[in-house]
């Protein structure tokens, strides 16, 4: 997942590697995991994020149940709203197949897969643009510098994790974080777990202090994924609402170069009636480029 700050709303999205199969709690691992390190050192700043993700398991399960139960109206809504904005901005959007989206939301947890987890390896530059929801007028632009650890780690319960950072100030190696109180970087932990699939846990320090979590679903296009992101705590206060951010992400080629595209919408989902509507008055689009790794230690 990726960090995003929009009018007081922060957002993140992240992703996983593929082959022999290891069975864990009914889900499969795909990929050669033999060289993957186990666990995190106790003094690793990401250990706190890992505890957050582990403590959020029931909520992740509840979100997957809700999104699966509301898959029909939610799929129709997202397909319609994304289609209405396919041609806005600097790159064409990617149409979503409603049947494939509904099937993904209703499906059990998918196996660990590298395409959705290791989208970047090292530094990547994201250019974000925000737009007015009604008039589709461009409102602003900013650059986010992300750094994805090139190595994943695993835990005894089957969880596989990846450390990521996002900063407006510069690239920050996730293995060498500055003091978080300096508010120059946001740490992000993406992980796959056999019970809840691909999720993200984000601690936002730049701008308003926030904690956010997300669940992800793989879609058919290469590197295509749909994240549902929710703010949990803002300025020390729990968030009590039904608002999610949906972030549709995929890989494509522009001018002969692989690039990554993202489009984000805010929505409100009624958990009782599965009614869905847009929330807020903006949406955003982002274009990501991997940076040369020269000069970086990982």
pLDDT digits (tens, 9 = 90+) for 85-129: 999 998 999 999 999 999 999 999 999 988 778 888 899 999 999
* Of the candidates 68, 125, 148, the residue with the CA atom closest to the CA atom of residue 259: 125
User: Tokens 């992101």 appear where?
Assistant: 229
Token pair of 31, please? Answer: 């990929």
DSSP character at residue 151: -
Residue 298 within any structural domain of the chain? no
User: Is residue 151 within 8 Å of 37, Cβ to Cβ?
Assistant: yes
pLDDT for position 39: 82
Q: Which residues contact 75 (CB under 8 A, 6 or more apart)?
A: 98, 101, 102, 105
Query: What integer pLDDT is reported at residue 1 of this predicted model?
Result: 58
**C-beta of residue 237 within 8 angstroms of C-beta of residue 263:** no
* pLDDT attached to residue 228: 99
Report d(CA 49, CA 70) in Å as an integer.
29
Domains held by the chain: number:
1
Any domain includes 99? yes
What three-state secondary structure class fits 201?
strand
Q: Tell me, yes or no, whether 295 lies in a domain.
A: no
- pTM for the predicted model, two decimal places: 0.87
Positive or negative, the Cα torsion across 239, 240, 241, 247?
Answer: positive
**How high is the pLDDT of residue 256?**
80
**From CA 2, how far away is CA 169, in angstroms rounded?**
15
Which phi and psi (to 5°) does residue 92 adopt? -70, 145
For residue 162, tell me if it sits in a domain. Answer: yes
Check residue 230 and give its pLDDT. Answer: 98
Q: Would you say residue 296 lies in a domain?
A: no
Question: Quick one: pLDDT at residue 119?
Answer: 83
N residues, the chain: 298
pLDDT score recorded for residue 225: 95
Expressed as residue numbers, the domain containing 111 is 4-290
Terminal Cα distance for the chain, rounded? 19
How far apart CA 165 and CA 167 sit, in angstroms, is 7
Task: Please list the ranges in the chain whose pLDDT falls under 70.
Answer: 1-35, 293-298
234 located within any domain: yes
Does residue 228 belong to any structural domain of this protein?
yes
Q: State residue 27's pLDDT score.
A: 42
Determine, yes or no, domain membership for 28: yes
**Rounded (to 5) percent helix, strand, coil in the chain:** 15, 40, 40
């Amino acid at each position: 997942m990726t960090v995003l700050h929009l009018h007081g709303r922060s957002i993140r999205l992240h992703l996983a590697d593929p082959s022999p199969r290891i069975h864990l709690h009914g889900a499969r691992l795909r990929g050669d995991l033999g060289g993957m390190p186990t666990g995190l050192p106790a003094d690793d700043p990401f250990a706190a994020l890992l505890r957050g993700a582990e403590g959020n398991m029931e909520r992740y399960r509840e979100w997957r149940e809700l999104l699966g139960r509301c898959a029909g109206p939610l799929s129709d809504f997202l397909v319609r709203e994304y289609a209405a904005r396919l041609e806005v901005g600097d790159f064409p959007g990617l149409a979503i197949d409603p049947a494939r989206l509904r099937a993904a939301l209703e499906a059990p947890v998918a196996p660990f897969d590298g395409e959705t987890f290791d989208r970047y390896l090292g530094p990547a530059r994201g250019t974000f643009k925000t737009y007015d929801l009604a008039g589709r007028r461009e409102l602003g632009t900013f650059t986010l510098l992300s750094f994805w650890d090139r190595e994943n780690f695993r835990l005894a319960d089957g969880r596989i994790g990846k450390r990521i950072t996002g900063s407006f100030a510069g690239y920050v190696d996730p293995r060498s974080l500055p003091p978080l109180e300096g508010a120059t970087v946001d740490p992000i932990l993406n992980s796959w777990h056999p019970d809840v699939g691909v999720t993200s846990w984000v601690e936002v320090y730049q701008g308003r202090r926030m904690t956010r979590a997300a669940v992800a679903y793989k879609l058919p296009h290469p590197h295509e994924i749909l994240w549902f992101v929710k703010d949990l705590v803002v300025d020390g206060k729990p968030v009590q609402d039904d608002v999610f951010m949906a972030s549709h992400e995929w890989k494509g080629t522009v001018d002969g170069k692989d690039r990554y595209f993202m489009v984000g919408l805010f929505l409100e989902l009624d958990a009782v009636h599965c009614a869905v509507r847009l929330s807020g008055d903006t949406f955003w689009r982002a274009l990501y480029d991997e940076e040369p790794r020269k000069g970086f230690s990982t």
